[in-house]
Amino acid sequence: MTGSWIEAQDACRSRYNSNLTSFHSAKESDFVRQIANIFRLDSVWIGLNKLDSADGNYEWVDGSDLTYTNWVIGEPSGGIENCAAQWNSGLNWIDLPCASDYFLPYVCD
Ligand SMILES: [Ca+2]
């Protein structure tokens, strides 16, 4: 299952009545990383975005509080990049464009 962040979130909603995954600890983040590694996936979309954010800060799409973050140094780089992925087999996150260019696998909660 791959797609843009928006396609991924739509699929979680429509197929599973769920959302892209959210993390509230390194342990939860690592659990998703381990699942991704089983399927030999380097990077996955996560439920973090600022598409509907009133204050411009990142929010979890499931509405839970942002109590844990783990951005790559220099990220989020912003601009047209408003959606987050857990990157490159690590626990760190980067922001990427939500609608196009990047077609990553994803994990629904
Ligand atoms: Ca970025």
CATH number assigned to the domain comprising residue 99: 3.10.100.10
Using the mean position of ligand 1's atoms as its centre, give its distance from the Cα of residue 17 in Å.
Answer: 28
Digit-coded pLDDT (tens) for 63-108: 999 999 999 999 999 999 999 999 988 899 999 999 866 677 787 8
Which domain covers residue 94, as residue numbers? Answer: 2-105
Using the mean position of ligand 1's atoms as its centre, give its distance from the Cα of residue 72 in Å.
Answer: 9
Using the mean position of ligand 1's atoms as its centre, give its distance from the Cα of residue 104 in Å.
Answer: 14
Q: What is the DSSP string of the chain?
A: -EE-HHHHHHHHHHHHS--B---SSHHHHHHHHHHHHHTT-S-EEEEEE-TT-SSS--EETT--------BPTT----TTEEEEEE-TTSS-EEEEESSSS--EEB-B-
Structural domain tally of the chain? 1
**pTM, rounded to two decimals:** 0.90
Using the mean position of ligand 1's atoms as its centre, give its distance from the Cα of residue 2 in Å.
Answer: 19
